[in-house]
Copies of this chain bind each other. A is one copy, B any other.
Amino acid sequence: MYKMIALFKKPEDPASFDEYYFNTHMPMTNQIPGLEKVEITKMSGSSPYYLMCVMYYASKEAFKEASKTPESKATGKDVMEFAGDLVTFMFGEDVNG
């Protein structure tokens, strides 16, 4: 699988963040064509990030195609507007271990 990973630093107001993230942002994310699975993990307080969202695509090519869609562009714009100062992105291919 190919993964796009969003790591969020702890927001000043976690309750407001969660409200927006789960009720507005994730419903947008879930509409991205080609997005096969999402795993969201809430980190413990000792972790350097507050939340991780892993978005799974079948391949890098599938991810690239998805990125061209209006749904993906709208979702990307949204995350930068509500959490541009908190989010770090990573991209990569799964390997066997």
Contact = CB atoms under 8 A, between A and B. Distances in A.
B22 A97 contact: yes
A93 B47 contact: no
B39 A91 contact: no
B91 A46 contact: yes
A41 interface: yes
Contacts of A53: 97
Interface in A38-89: 38-44, 46-49, 52-54, 88-89
Number of copies: 2
Q: Which 5 A-B pairs have the closest CB atoms?
A: A47-B90, A43-B92, A40-B97, A26-B97, A41-B92
Interface string A13-52: 0000000011000100110000000111111101111001
